[in-house]
Structure 1
Amino acid sequence: AAGTGEFEAGISKNGQTREHALLAFTLGVKQLIVGVNKMDSTEPPYSESRFEEIKKEVSSYIKKIGYNPAAVAFVPISGWHGDNMLEQSTKMPWFKGWQIERKEGKAEGKCLIEALDAILPPARPTDKALRLP
Structure 2
Amino acid sequence: MADKNRRPRILVVEDEDNIALALDYVLTREGYEHDRIANGAEALPRIRQTHPDLVLLDVMLPEMSGYEICQNVRMDPALKDVRILMMTARGSAMERRKGLALGADGFIAKPFELKELREEVGRLLQNRAGGDG
- Answer 1 or 2: which has greater strand percent: 2
TM-score (norm. length: structure 1):
0.37
- Answer 1 or 2: which has greater helix percent: 2
Q: Tell which structure's C-alpha radius of gyration is larger.
A: 1
TM-score (norm. length: structure 2):
0.37
